[in-house]
């Protein structure tokens, strides 16, 4: 018998592959029914439509806002520090307010009138110094000037005379004039920052190489000898006599354009103070001076009309 082929019939229904719906095409449903169907399909197959993200401010914008807020806080703190606290600012006295009312702060007075007015504003119990406050156009202005009617304090002078034996007589003369005589020991003391008990230092040229060692100490204090202001001289006796007779040094403040100098006493005649100011004005030079204000030790400031000098 021949073999009979048995045909196996599979009557089971083939499982159809379920395709996921194309969410891409249905992201924007046209109507409510399509939207509902899409939601059900997404739930069944684990596909959930992404909801649009809420609009957030960019990171850079957030950072800039933080920086701006911080800068505002810093400015507020700075303003708070700069604002004087009650009680810390010393109020002007009643006496000062009374004398200040005699002066027009916006007016410039002729020289003699300014001196007389400044003398009236003085309210100290002692004869105060008449001070000239000179604003300049430049820095580093300095020199010596002999005021014909000076009545300021006596200067303490340190002098380095020639070291030769033939100059011993000059040393004695300087000591008799009340001058301190400089030595090598004095330079060693100054080099340590000690012994600065003088107002002016004068010297002969031969000492300059040794005094160069103390330039860093004396320079910032304006005490270093300089040929421009006449403190380096071969004739120290003459230089000292000029200084003691009313020759004073004027100089601008460090890094500032202002000179403060006593030009007499409040109880001096106005004409004498005016003569001192005129000499000072001519020595410094009109082109270097911006304005001059006169004031007593205790009193108000009076602006001077430069055209009247």
User: What are 247-297's pLDDT values in tens digits?
Assistant: 888 999 988 999 999 999 899 999 999 999 999 999 999 999 999 999 998
* Residue showing tokens 């194309």: 22
Q: Give the length of the chain.
A: 309
Say if residue 163 is in the same domain as residue 241: yes
What CATH number did the domain enclosing 178 receive? 3.40.50.790
Q: Are residues 172 and 145 in the same domain?
A: no
Task: Look at residue 38 in the predicted model and tell me its pLDDT.
Answer: 67
- The residues that bridge with 293 in the sheet, in sequence order, are 133, 303
Retrieve residue 35's tokens.
Answer: 């939207």
Q: Among residues 209, 225, 245, which one ends one of the domains?
A: 245
Q: Does some domain include residue 199?
A: yes
Name the more confident of 167 and 101: 101
The model's pTM is 0.53
Judge whether 309 lies within some domain: yes
Q: Is the domain of 270 the same as that of 148?
A: yes
CA distance 147 to 247: 6
**159 plus 236 within the same structural domain:** yes
Asked if residue 238 and residue 171 are part of one domain, the reply reads: yes
Decide if 142 is inside a domain.
yes
Together in a domain, 147 and 115: yes
In a domain, 110, yes or no: yes
Q: Of all helices (H) and strands (E), which one includes residue 114?
A: helix 111-121
Whether residue 173 is found in the same domain as residue 229: yes
- 253 with 138, same domain: the answer is yes
Same domain, 237 and 166: yes
47 in any annotated domain: no
Q: Which of 3-7, 224-228, 239-243 has the lowest mean pLDDT?
A: 3-7
169 and 218 belong to one structural domain: yes
Residues 146 and 253 both lie in one domain: yes
Among 224, 245, 266, give the residue marking a domain's end: 245
For the chain, the domain total comes to 2
User: Residue 197 is part of which domain span?
Assistant: 154-245
Contacts of 198 (CB under 8 A, 6+ apart): 156, 157, 158, 180, 223
Q: What is the CATH number of the domain that holds 275?
A: 3.30.190.20
**Which tens digit of pLDDT belongs to each residue from 72-119?**
666 666 555 555 555 554 566 677 777 778 889 899 999 999 999 999
163 and 110 part of one domain: no
């Amino acid at each position: 018998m021949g073999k009979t082929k048995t045909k196996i019939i599979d009557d089971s229904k083939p499982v159809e592959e379920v395709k996921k719906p194309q969410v891409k095409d249905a992201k924007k449903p046209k109507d409510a029914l399509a939207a509902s169907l899409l939601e059900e399909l997404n739930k069944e197959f684990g596909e959930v439509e992404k909801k649009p993200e809420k609009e957030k401010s960019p990171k850079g914008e957030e950072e800039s806002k933080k920086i701006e807020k911080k800068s505002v806080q810093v400015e507020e703190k700075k303003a708070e520090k700069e604002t004087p606290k009650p009680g810390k600012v010393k109020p002007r006295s009643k006496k000062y307010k009374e004398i200040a009312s005699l002066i027009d702060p916006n007016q410039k007075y002729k020289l003699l009138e300014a001196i007389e007015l400044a003398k009236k504003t003085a309210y100290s119990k002692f004869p105060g110094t008449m001070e000239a406050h000179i604003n300049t156009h430049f820095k580093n202005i300095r020199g010596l000037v002999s005021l014909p009617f000076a009545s300021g304090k006596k200067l303490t002078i340190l002098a380095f005379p020639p070291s030769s034996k033939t100059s011993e007589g000059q040393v004695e003369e300087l000591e008799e004039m009340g001058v301190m005589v400089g030595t090598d020991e004095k330079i060693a003391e100054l080099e340590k920052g000690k012994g600065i008990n003088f107002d002016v230092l004068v010297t002969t040229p031969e000492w300059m190489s040794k005094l160069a060692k103390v330039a860093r100490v004396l320079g910032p204090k304006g005490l270093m000898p300089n040929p421009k202001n006449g403190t380096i001289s071969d004739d120290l006796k003459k230089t000292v006599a000029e200084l003691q007779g009313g020759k004073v040094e004027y100089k601008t403040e460090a890094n500032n354009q202002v000179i403060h100098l006593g030009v007499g006493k409040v109880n001096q005649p106005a004409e004498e103070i005016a003569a001192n100011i005129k000499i000072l004005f001519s020595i410094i030079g009109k082109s270097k001076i911006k304005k001059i204000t006169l004031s007593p030790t205790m009193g108000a400031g009076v602006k001077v009309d430069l055209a009247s000098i």
